[in-house]
Chain A
Amino acid sequence: MTNASEPNDGALLSVRNLEKQFPTSSGTVRALSDVSFDVRRGCILGIVGESGSGKTTAGRCILRLIEPSGGEAIFDGVDLFKLSEKELRAYRRRLQIIFQDPYSSLNPRMRVGDIIGEAIDTHRLARGAAREERIAQLLGRVGLRPEHARRYPHEFSGGQRQRIGIARALAVEPELIIADEPVSALDVSVQAQVLNLMQELQQQLGLTMVFISHDLSVVEYLCDDIVVLYLGRIMEMGPAQEVYANPRHPYTQVLLSAVPVADPRAKRDRIILKGDIPSPLNPPSGCVFRTRCPYAVQACAEIVPPREDVSRDHSVACIRQAELAGQREFENQENLL
Chain B
Amino acid sequence: MVITASSGVGTGAALALPPHVQLKVEDLQTYFIQGASTVKSVDGVSFSLSRGQTLAVVGESGSGKSVTSLTIMRLLAHPGRIVGGRVLYRLRGGDVVDLAQLPEKRMRAIRGREIAMIFQEPMTSLNPLFTVGDQIMEMILLHESVSRDEARVRAKRMLELVEIPAPERRLDQYPHEMSGGMRQRVMIALALSCNPSLLIADEPTTALDVTIQAQILDLLRRLQKEIGMSILFITHNLGVVAEIAHEVVVMYAGRVVEQGLVLNVFERPRHPYTRGLLACIPDVRRDRTEGGGRRLLNAIPGNVPSALDLPTGCAFAPRCPLVVDRCRELPPLIPVSEDHLSRCWRYDDL
Contact = CB atoms under 8 A, between A and B. Distances in A.
Interface in A229-246: 241, 244-245
A245 B288 CA distance: 7
B282 interface: yes
A261 B304 contact: no
Contacts of A84: none
Given A218-B282, A261-B285, A189 B211 contact: no
Interface size range of chain A in the complex? 35 or more
B95 interface: no
12 contacts: A50-B209, A189-B273, A190-B303, A195-B299, A199-B294, A241-B291, A258-B214, A262-B238, A262-B239, A265-B263, A276-B179, A277-B179
B294 A214 contact: no
Interface in A180-218: 187-193, 195-196, 199-200, 214, 216-218
Interface string A44-71: 0000001100000000000000000000
A2 to B, nearest CB: 22
B27 to A, nearest CB: 26
B266 A264 contact: yes
A270 B303 CA distance: 35
Interface of B: 60-61, 165, 179-182, 209-215, 217-218, 236-243, 262-263, 266-267, 273, 276-278, 280-286, 288, 291, 294, 296-301, 303-304, 319
Given A260-B242, A263-B266, A266-B285, A273 B215 contact: yes
A245 B218 CA distance: 25
Contacts of A192: 280-281, 297-300
Nearest to B262: A264
Contact of B296 (A189, A199, A276): A199
A222 B211 CA distance: 21
Nearest to A49: B209
Contacts of B284: 216-217, 220, 244, 256, 259, 261
Nearest to A191: B280
A200 B281 CA distance: 17
B301 A193 contact: yes
A199 B236 CA distance: 24
A273 B179 CA distance: 15
Given A221-B282, A241-B291, A259-B284, A276 B212 contact: yes
A275 interface: yes
Contacts, number: 139
Given A187-B60, A275-B165, A255 B211 contact: yes
Nearest to A276: B179
Interface of A: 50-51, 157, 159-160, 187-193, 195-196, 199-200, 214, 216-218, 220-222, 241, 244-245, 254-266, 268, 270, 272-273, 275-277
Contact of B210 (A187, A241, A259): A259
B280 A273 contact: no
A199 B273 CA distance: 23
A259 B284 CA distance: 8
Contacts of B180: 51
B297 A195 contact: yes
Contacts of B283: 217, 261-262
B266 A196 contact: no
A264 B280 contact: no
Given A189-B277, A190-B304, A264-B262, A258 B210 contact: yes
Contacts of B242: 260-264, 266
Chain A CB within 10 Å, residue with most, of B212, B217, B291: B212
B294 A259 contact: no
A321 to B, nearest CB: 19
Nearest to B58: A188
A277 B209 contact: yes
Contact of B211 (A191, A193, A199, A273): A273
Contacts of A255: 210-211
